[in-house]
Amino acid sequence: MAPRKVVITGMGMLTAVGNDRESSWKALVSGTNGVTDIEGMDTEGFKTRFAGQIKDFDPHKCMDPKEARKADRFVQLAMAASVEAMEHAGITEVSDPFRAGVIIGSGIGGMLTFENQHSRFVKRGPRGVSPLFIPMMIGDMAAGLVSIRFGFRGANYCTVSACASGGHAIGSAYDQIVLGHADVMISGGAEAAICNMALSGFGNMKALSTRNDDPATASRPFDVDRDGFVIGEGAGILVLESEEHAQARGAAILGEICGYGMTADAYHMTQPDIEGRGAVGSMAQALHTSGLTADQVGYINAHGTSTFFNDKVETGAIKQVFGDHAAKLKISSTKSMIGHLLGAAGGVEAVITVLAMNQGVLPPTINLVNPDPECDLDYCANEAVQQDVEYALSNSFGFGGHNVTLCFRARR
């Protein structure tokens, strides 16, 4: 029996440049920067005082007030993106709820809730901690509440692999459909960790940019003057279906996932393997499982974090996998505009990649003013590129040496 094809029929996205898919996409294509000074918390004394924050988000547009009060911000963002994706897909019900599932990744989960409840514990002791602390904080609750919302009773869990979490979630959802366990899956990533502890932790390990005098230029992937990543928040969700299920209900097919790769660096807690072996393996597996040759790929949405090691290692890995074709590839890091969304990055960047293929427009890498000599590929510097692409990759790499590459095919 031929393998089942997995298609994309709905997408939802919230980022620092837009509270929905369309506004985010328009801003990204125009090169709009969403990195600003942090609002809503006192950043005095922090090494980094800016981030890619979502502005004016109203959870009550997708959740009733009582439900929203019981949910951490990352869950609220996941719900908003999932509702948008399901509306986009036009799915109101499924014939067999046990063949419909939800897998949503989050690298950190409810850190805002954890921080808030710990403060209450310090001030008031054990009785000060909310009985909702655990269900609000745990990373699987986005997938859990989304499944409740839509009545999906199939596979339901959270992938936790740092900044590869969203990519792992989508690959796992793809497997559920290919293996015949599901017909419909909601999948992606969500993160909301702009808080005291995350800023302190990432800052003290010197992972964050400290360009406080000019936040708009702080995220500068592949630039020689990059000095760390910019933390962001958001959510990106795909509705995946088997091709026959989508066709049977007359759904518009937005794209296809034709394969993926997942590897480990087995090298270091936070630093990527200098030789790029994990990244090479991830991209090579994605090509192999998709049945593609390197020269068929036209675009890569890079992990592109704006950190010293990632950008040069990822560039070197692309050269190893694609050989002479690497110079012909279009590559961009949309983290330059919205920051690094940690566990949500893979979900958001999957949505962006599919939109780029649909629209024939590849978003830019902004702030690329002085290219690093070791990063010498075509990164769509500072301006979007008009180009039709049939096959594209999206890379997500995480602390712990986790690597995921998703391969998409345009279905225009």
Token code pair at residue 55: 């502005």
| Whether residue 181 lies in the annotated active site | no
Distance (Å, rounded) from C-alpha 338 to C-alpha 53? Answer: 8
Of 159, 170, 393, the residue nearest 298 (C-alpha): 393
Q: Please, are residues 154 and 182 in contact by the beta-carbon 8 Å criterion?
A: yes
Q: Please, are residues 408 and 258 in contact by the beta-carbon 8 Å criterion?
A: yes
> Of 88, 168, 303, 402, which is the active-site residue?
303
For 20, 78, 127, 149, 190, the CA distances from 64, given in Å and listed in that order, are 19, 15, 27, 11, 19
Of 163, 104, 112, 159, the residue nearest 306 (C-alpha): 163
Distance of CA 29 to the CA centre of its chain: 17
- Residue-wise over 96-123: b if at least 16 C-beta within 10 A, else e? eeebbbbbbbbbbbbbbbbebbeeeeee
Residues 6 or more apart whose CB falls under 8 angstroms from that of 6 comprise: 174, 177, 178, 240, 241, 242, 243, 256, 257
Q: Please, are residues 108 and 345 in contact by the beta-carbon 8 Å criterion?
A: no
Amino acid at 346: G
Residue labelled with tokens 């497997």: 175
Token code pair at residue 329: 């590839």
Distance (Å, rounded) from C-alpha 372 to C-alpha 121? Answer: 47
Q: Please, are residues 364 and 383 in contact by the beta-carbon 8 Å criterion?
A: yes
Token code pair at residue 377: 């590929």
Distance (Å, rounded) from C-alpha 397 to C-alpha 407? Answer: 15
> Of 88, 245, 340, 402, which is the active-site residue?
340
What Rg value do the Cα atoms of the chain yield, rounded? 20
> Of 62, 158, 163, 380, which is the active-site residue?
163
| Whether residue 158 lies in the annotated active site | no
Sign of the Cα pseudo-torsion (220, 332, 161, 240, in order): positive
| Whether residue 325 lies in the annotated active site | no
Catalytic residues: 163, 303, 340
